[in-house]
Structure 1
Amino acid sequence: MYMKCLNEVPIHVDATVKPSDSSLPHQFNLTVKRVEKYSFLVEILRTDLDSGWENILLTVHWTALMKAGPTDCRKLYDIGYRKNDLYNIYLDGRTKLEVYCDLENHGGGWTVIQRNVDNRTDFDRNWSDYKTGFGNKLASFWIGLENIRALTKNGDNELRIDITTCNNTKIVAEYSYFMVGPESDRYRLNITGYQHQQEKICDFGNPGNRWQCGWVGINQSLCEKRVSDAMIRSNGQVFSTKDMTENDCPNSRLAGWWYGSCGYTNLNGKYDPCKRGFPYAHWRNGSPEGLRHGLRFVEMKIRPR
């Protein structure tokens, strides 16, 4: 008999056995007799009793498929978790990843993939950092392109972006379809199904509400353009960083992103609320006095549809 203790719960075990001296004639029957919590038991029966030897050292080779854990925050929500916090999920059911789950808001089950809420995390980083992820998941962070790929490759995820502008206006951009491609295609973005929510959008019935459009003399048409999809130029684009790019966008924006003609948004930009300019975290419709004013809060989160 052979017993092995494990630190996780196996759901299936395969095992083989070999003698230390393979020159000796040998025949064994091996059977996995029992798979228990944190262990398994293997029975080894010798079937060559007349081969001329009595003692031999054996090596057992085994592989265990461990119990599949939750693959995203939606799975945690579905089994009863309701508190926003850090949790372990298992990409493809096996690879452990610590994530921040929003289980309390907007129907719960959201896996947060990005947050830009303070200046303690520098988003002006190279390809390797953006691939693997960086930052503090309880504050500002990027979960990593490879992890986003693993979470979205099934093509069945929605994206929600929560934004607070310089003057504390709340903006929500929702997309019914969000997926990134493999690294071989530089994590190309596929994002569609835009819906938008914002306080006091272009309310020309009240002059006091025109501030979110920028200028006093702005007309209705230009105002509506300001609240249109800021990710529209990012759709279909590959991801770019300062050391992996065909243009100057990551250098002028001081961040990595899916830049198309540098785009209308820079959610990984420098955190400095109300500062105006290309390097700052901005959303095209999120400024009280014009475009590209630094945002106070940005959070991106995904959930299976």
Structure 2
Amino acid sequence: MMRPQLVTMAIVVVMAALCGSSTGSVVEVPEVTQAPPSPPPPHNRKIQTRSRGNSFRGQAITTTTSPQKSENCHELMTSLNNRVSLLATLDGDQRHRLEVIDKKLDQLEDSSTARMESIKAQQFDFNTRLDSVEQVQKLSRETLEYIKGKTNRIFGLRRVRELKHKLNNRKKLNEHSRPTRGVSDPILDERLNALATLLTSTALSVRSVQIEVANLSRVIRRQNHFLQRTSHGPSAVQPPIFYGPSAVDGVHPNYPTLPTSCVYSNLATPGILKVKLTSDSESFYVSCEQDWTVILRRSSDDVNFERGWLDYREGFGNLAADFFIGLDKLHALTSSALHELRIVMEDFAGNDVDANYASFAIGSESELYPLTILGKFQENLTYSAGDSLSYHAGAKFSTVDNDNDNCLECNCAMKHKGAGWYSNCATSNSFGQYIPQDQNYAEAGETGMWWDTFRGAKYSLKKVRWMIRPIAEGLDALRR
């Protein structure tokens, strides 16, 4: 298709040619090449003179109208040139708009591609987690079936032995009772019934004692196993390094080496304990509350938690007050043994609530410290805070200078003024700003220290503590 300005230029050229030809025909007068005619008679001369006068007047009229047509053609050409310029400007604007539209389409395509890649990555991560959960369920079913089979065999054999033993006892009783049965059957039957009742109760008592002995033996074996696992150093006796209130009578129990967790310290009072996870690892201090290891404590605005990646990796604060233990130490603790998690919260009205999870562990720095394991939320608590952490399971840790959340258009750490395992973005914010009581803590927005299922996202809490405790084999029996 021809452009409009080309068509207009062609029209201008044609009009110019027409104007030029019309002007030339009007101005141009043909030359007389023949000899003059013979003088006419007088009468004819008057007529000829009148005719020539008319001819001269016609030429004069034609000559006067030619400049007017030329001026009209000039105005027409000027108008056409202006229209051509206007069309050229419109064409340039149209090309510019098309370029802008093409650029926006390219940006939209790039953004859509990035979103699709992110969705694919999330789907792959979800499939991986689903496969791992299915594998764990399969292993759990196999283990339960194995334990069930073993239990059935054990109790089946015991039941058979008990029945045989009862049958032998009855045979012996019958043999002893035959000589006297003819003398006094009612009295003998009553005595036999009483004896059978006594034997049954005695057997039940013996059975319960056997079960208790077996349980105690199992606990002792497991306790010895724990002591062997924790005794990595020399056999020299060394008490734990403990800073806090003194123990009973000022004496602490002796240990072959540094404990690996607060649960092995047997200290009933809060304090600071030095632990060593393995013989090759470096020892470090932790804050203990009974057998729980405190990894996060918030109770005032003395410590700023809006920090960068390096601070959260190494830890910061005061173990005797507000602090965070550090992602490196937390990874070392949760990778040395499977831990359970307890989160204790308090609002400014004095209400204390808990949120307990059956298991808890995080990954290494090369994985960006993801929340790899978060067990089932325990709903049977008397004062439960509700579950506002399961949403974050599997998410990577993010800080204000290291954004690892799944939000493409925001930085969740900056949005909530803290850090944490954000996933587009959060249902809790334990690492957020501390809002004191003299400020508007009840309407702090999502930048405070909040738990969505307890007082909502706009209410900034007064106190928060995160604590972990190892779940080792036989530990539940020791607690009972």
TM bin, normalised by shorter chain, reads 0.5 to 0.7
2:395 counterpart of 1:237: yes
What one-letter code is carried by the residue in structure 2 that aligns with 1:281?
A: M
Conservation of the 8 A alpha-carbon contact between 1:161 and 1:299 = yes
Distance 1:228 1:119 in 2: 25
SS of 1:149's equivalent?
helix
Give the corresponding residue for 1:85: 271
Bigger radius of gyration: 2
Residue matched to 1:97? 284
Partner of 1:55: none
1:253-292 alpha-carbon deviations (Å, 9 max, x no partner):
11110011111000011111524211100001221xx433
Instruction: Say yes or no: does 1:266 pair with 2:266.
Output: no
Partner of 2:364: 182
Identity over aligned residues, as a percent?
Answer: 30
Residue of structure 2 equivalent to 1:29: none
2:446 counterpart (278, 297, 301): 278
| Alpha-carbon distance change, 153 to 181 in structure 1, aligned in 2, over 3 angstroms | same
1:74, 1:136 → 2: CA distance?
Answer: 21
CA contact (8 A) 2:403 2:413 kept: yes
| Structure 1 residues 206-246: Cα deviation after superposition (integer angstroms, max 9, x where no partner) | xxxxxxxxxxxxxxxxxxxxx64100221000100011114
**Is structure 2 residue 293 aligned with structure 1 residue 74?**
no
Per the alignment, in what secondary structure is the counterpart of residue 389 of structure 2? coil
Question: Contact 2:277/2:336 (CA < 8 Å) preserved in 1?
Answer: no
In the alignment, which residue of structure 2 is the partner of 1:56? Answer: none
CA contact (8 A) 1:177 1:193 kept: yes
Q: Distance in 2 between matches of 1:37 and 1:167?
A: 48
Q: TM-score, normalised by structure 1?
A: 0.64
Could you tell me whether the CA contact under 8 Å between 2:237 and 2:257 is conserved in 1?
A: no
* Pair 1:138 & 2:325 matched: no
Give how far 1:68 is off.
Answer: 3.9
Query: CA 1:37–1:283 in structure 2 vs 1: closer, same or farther (change >3 Å)?
Result: closer
Instruction: Describe the SS at the equivalent of 2:420.
Output: coil
Q: Which runs of 5 or more residues in structure 2 are unaligned?
A: 1-231, 239-255, 405-409, 472-480
Determine the C-alpha separation between the residues in 2 that align with 1:36 and 1:132: 32
Q: Which residue of 2 aligns with 1:152?
A: 334
The question of whether the paired residues in 2 share the 8 Å contact of 1:176 and 1:193 is answered with yes
RMSD: 2.4
- Cα displacement (A) at 1:136: 1.1
**Which of 294, 304, 314 does residue 112 from structure 1 map onto?**
294
1:36 & 1:82 partners in 2: Cα distance? 24
Matched, 1:125 2:307: yes
- Matched residue, 1:291: 457
| Deviation for aligned residue 1:140 | 1.0
CA contact (8 A) 1:234 1:258 kept: yes
The CA distance in 2 between the partners of 1:265 and 1:241, in whole Å, is: 15
Q: 1:115 aligns to what SS in structure 2?
A: strand
Q: In structure 2, do the counterparts of structure 1 residues 11 and 230 end up closer, same or farther at CA, with 3 Å as the change threshold?
A: closer
For residues 156 and 37 of structure 1, the distance between their equivalents in structure 2, rounded to whole angstroms, comes to: 28
1:95-125 CA deviation, whole Å, 9 max, x = no partner? Answer: 111111001xxxxx10000011100000000
* C-alpha distance in structure 2 between counterparts of 1:261 and 1:36, whole Å: 52
The verdict on how the C-alpha distance between 1:198 and 1:251 changes in structure 2, with shifts beyond 3 A counting, is: farther
More RCO (CA 8 Å, sep 6+): 1
Structure 1, gaps ≥5 residues long = 1-9, 13-34, 39-66, 104-108, 202-226
Residue type of the alignment partner of 2:468 = I
1:44-79 CA deviation, whole Å, 9 max, x = no partner? xxxxxxxxxxxxxxxxxxxxxxx74111111112xx
Amino acid at match of 1:240: S
Q: Distance in 2 between matches of 1:155 and 1:144?
A: 17
Give the corresponding residue for 1:18.
Answer: none
Q: Tell me the equivalent position of 2:349.
A: 167
> Could you tell me how far apart the structure 2 residues matched to 1:144 and 1:231 are?
19
> 1:250 offset after TM fit, Å?
0.5
CA 1:233–1:11 in structure 2 vs 1: closer, same or farther (change >3 Å)? closer
Partners of 1:245 and 1:174 in 2: CA distance: 28
TM-score by length of 2: 0.41
Supply the distance in 1 between the matched residues of 2:464 and 2:278 (Cα, whole angstroms).
Answer: 28
Shift of 1:198: 5.7
Query: Paired residue for 2:29?
Result: none
Assess if the C-alpha contact under 8 Å between 2:341 and 2:359 holds in 1. yes
Distance 1:74 1:37, change over 3 A: closer
Confirm whether residue 191 of structure 1 aligns to residue 374 of structure 2: yes
AA partner of residue 446 (structure 2): F
C-alpha distance in structure 2 between counterparts of 1:195 and 1:98, whole Å: 29
Q: Indicate the residue corresponding to 1:213 in structure 2.
A: none
1:167 Cα deviation (Å)?
2.4
